[in-house]
Amino acid sequence: MHADLRHDHHVIDCIVVGAGHNGLVTAAYLARSGYSILVLEANSSVGGAAVSAEVFPGMGARVSKYSYLVSLLPPAIARDLAIDVPLARRRVASYTPDPADPRRALVIPSNDEQSLAANIENFTGSAKEAAAWQRFYARTTAMAEVMFPSLTKPLVSREDMRARIDAADWSDFVERPLGEVLEHTFEEDVIRGLVFTDGLIGTFADAHEDSLHQNICFLYHVIGQGTGQWDVPVGGMGAITAQLADRVRSAGGVVRTGVEVIAIEDDGEHVSVTTREGDDEVTYTARTLAANCAPGVLAKLRGLETATISDRDGGAQVKVNMLLSRLPRLRDDSVDPADAFSGTFHVNESYRQLESAHRTAASGQLPTPLPAEIYCHSLSDPSILSKNLRAAGAHTLTLFGLHTPHSLFASNGTHQTRASGHGLDADDALAAVHATLDSVLAEPVADCLMTDAEGNPCIEVNTTADVERDLRIPTGNIFHTPLAWPWADDDQQIGTWGVETDSPRIVVCGSGAARGGGVSGIPGHNAARHLTSVLG
């Protein structure tokens, strides 16, 4: 099959660059429609950021290495492509220790409005805050019910979307900085911070930033499935991408790994893709190309100029994976650790702490304490652990650190954080992780870490620099580019799929497309819809 796909012998209908989940969605849809498809992946395995891996070799745990929860994947895409990965509902939505006194905490249950109201009232001492919470999320749900179904349809104008949304909701969530809305709605600092975190995942922004990046990020976190519910993929993220790759191959598509694309040329009729495969350079020719890579990477491969990426537009997260012999004890002895860790466990994420952390990071320093959130995948899905680990009471722990812009970790960052001129590294991030966790736990998390055969603690740190190197994403931005509103930017974009480029033969099918970001398959679906009309 390899020889048949070379430049001299065969013109492929579509080459997909990158075998992350979105690229595989595009390939699967097109292959099912009878088109010849070639997927090229530089890494040795498929999946991109949606992979499961035994990051601690020989220990018997398969961890969702980068992305880890699912909310935005439309059921229609899963049905179309026969993706049958159960999604486990976490019994606790979130657990938030009071940073001022971790002996008390707020528990937000999943789908129990009565307990929710009682817990908020007990934590704040006021029924007013509980009522405010319920009104606030009723408003986001109303927006979600309108916006989520639109993500797999051609883009509408801003005015069209605005006409579908309650005027007050549009004003508060689309036109005003999120900080203004939170400060007007909630009085309690911990509550404000808990809500604000959805505006900061992978996004470096202040609550009052005029760019409204925080509002856009928040929107994508609350509209999934029309409810904003986040679930655990049973078997880990890799279960989704493994099935997608299988669907591509079973429909006749070809998926090749260990193939690095080094150049893309559009001659006006076809697209030529030059690759490095071992010691050889190979060129393939296609009618169309779908780029499941960051738009900046696509531009570079095409020989076009690329702009410098600022902190505001770049990556801003630290992802940490751990394997524990047992769950750590809490300072709050009224809550079972199995409940606290099964949902999103918010660490030092009060509103004031988040704003302070942003100022610290903007000045070129790692925030202290580091705002972070953690959860235990194995409590909802023990299948990722070996039988021996399950019997021993072991668990995985995933941590996501906020307000950690790429410049802190890049050797050529705008802030030089070491005398040598190099940025911070994984050890610095690890120290910050230990410190922030230990500030709210009853024992050091280090005491709970398992050790591998060589005596090393089972903890893995991925900074933006690691993501940039391993996944070839500029600045380690998990969204590839800053997230954009889910409607047309201008009149020319109305009615398009939001995947088009300056070439009619080349589309962006990854997170950098309009309505990209998160494990959704949405830009992959939309690219396939557009390419079907191009290919005829």
The structural domains of the chain, ordered by start, are 3-49+236-308+490-535 (3.50.50.60), 87-233+310-476 (no CATH)
Hey, what are 530's tokens? 């557009």
Mean pLDDT, rounded, for 148-155: 98
Question: Strand, coil or helix: what is 129?
Answer: helix
pLDDT band at 5 (very low <50, low <70, confident <90, very high): low
Confidence (pLDDT) at 423: 77
Peptide bond into 369 cis (omega under 30): yes
The CA radius of gyration of the chain, in Å to the nearest whole number, is 23
Confidence (pLDDT) at 414: 39
Q: What does the pLDDT look like over 191-241, one tens digit per residue?
A: 999 999 999 999 999 999 999 999 999 999 999 999 988 999 999 999 999
Q: Residue 155 carries which DSSP code?
A: P
Mean pLDDT, rounded, for 316-339: 97
Mean pLDDT, rounded, for 461-468: 96
Looking at the predicted structure, is the pLDDT value of residue 179 above 80? yes
Q: Which residues, at least 6 apart from 322, have a Cβ–Cβ distance to it below 8 Å?
A: 396, 397, 398, 399, 445, 449, 458, 459, 460
Q: What does the pLDDT look like over 512-534, one tens digit per residue?
A: 999 999 999 999 999 999 999 99
pTM above 0.85, yes or no: yes
Confidence (pLDDT) at 9: 53
Looking at the predicted structure, is the pLDDT value of residue 385 above 50? yes
Q: Which residues, at least 6 apart from 409, have a Cβ–Cβ distance to it below 8 Å?
A: 423, 424, 425, 429, 463, 464, 465
Mean pLDDT, rounded, for 150-177: 98
Alpha-carbon span 499 to 392, nearest angstrom: 48
Q: Residue 286 carries which DSSP code?
A: E
Confidence (pLDDT) at 422: 45
Helices 21-32 and 237-250, packing angle to 10 deg: 30
Q: Give residue for tokens 């994420």.
A: 349
Question: Strand, coil or helix: what is 233?
Answer: strand
Alpha-carbon span 282 to 259, nearest angstrom: 10
Other C-beta atoms closer than 10 Å to the C-beta of 159 total 10
Q: Which residues, at least 6 apart from 298, have a Cβ–Cβ distance to it below 8 Å?
A: 17, 264, 291, 501, 506, 508
Confidence (pLDDT) at 419: 36
Hey, what are 22's tokens? 């979105």
Alpha-carbon span 298 to 263, nearest angstrom: 9
The separation between CA 434 and the C-alpha centre of its own chain, rounded to angstroms, equals: 23
Helices 127-150 and 213-222, packing angle to 10 deg: 80
Other C-beta atoms closer than 10 Å to the C-beta of 250 total 12
Looking at the predicted structure, is the pLDDT value of residue 143 above 60? yes
